Amino acid sequence: MKKITSIFKGNHTSYIGAHRGASTYCPENTMSAFKKAVELKADMLELDVQLTKDGEVIVYHDFFLNKRTNGEGYVHQQSLADIRKLDAGSWFSEEFAGERIPTFEEVLAWSKDKIWINIELKQLEHLHEPLAKKVVELVEHYRMEDQVQVMSFNHASLVEARRYNKKVLCGAISASRLINPIEYLRSIQAQILNVPIIHLSPSLVESLHNHGFYVHGSMSDDPFVWRTILEWGIDAMDTNFPDVMIEERAKFYAERGIHK
């Protein structure tokens, strides 16, 4: 299979990530959602990972199983074998009844040389989980260091990931405005700032780019937000409607005579 271009490199466009897969059309963080995202020609998959009781990495967002499966309790209190028995699709639609929670390894094996992946570490700090280490080890095993970025609200996890592998790009997610984002990113050896539009400006995007950083505009389903940060030269944004935002991007570039 042909190797894809390293993440964020290539034709210098602003990239669209399918938030938890094509989660408007399929149950989030499932193989159906990821396959649909590829079908819709999303540039990236955004997904969430956490550990089971027996230390296996699964793809699932919530720490509780109640909302998105027919199970109950915390993910970290269940074994992989028990989690794999759960129905992760019926809550969305009967069409997806029987959909399973995928393992991270399953997603990596399927996506290799197919699509970029944004991996959000869902770390429970008080449990001292080796999530970052296990994620990096699996990425290394599949030789996908150039195909992924690791991101988290838990920036200590990013420092840990960088300690294990310097090739994997790391993105610091923040719901708050950082006082000095450039110095902060340097201090934790991250390469990407991931914040919503309310914490961005054209000058900040330009400054981050000038200092060698990438800028991720978090997640939005609003075409106006997408067009605004396209004007600012953003590197990526996640959305639940990748097909809609891809069409908006094409219109935006066409209006300006830009060929990507």
- Catalytic hit among 61, 76, 199, 209: 61
> Contact at 8 Å (CB) between 72 and 82?
no
**SS3 at position 206:** helix
The count of other CB atoms within 10 Å of the CB of residue 140 is 14
Nearest CA-CA partner of 60 in 144, 137, 111, 120: 120
Tell how strand 44-51 and strand 15-19 pair up: parallel
Phi, psi values for residue 178, rounded to 5°: -80, 140
Cα–Cα dist 245/129, whole Å: 36
Known catalytic membership, residue 141: no
Q: The tokens of 260 are what?
A: 């990507």
Amino acid at 93: S
Known catalytic membership, residue 19: yes
Cα–Cα dist 141/139, whole Å: 5
> Contact at 8 Å (CB) between 248 and 29?
no
Specify the DSSP class assigned to residue 103.
B
Whose tokens are 């902060």? That residue is 184
Q: The tokens of 254 are what?
A: 């066409």
Catalytic residue annotation: 19, 61
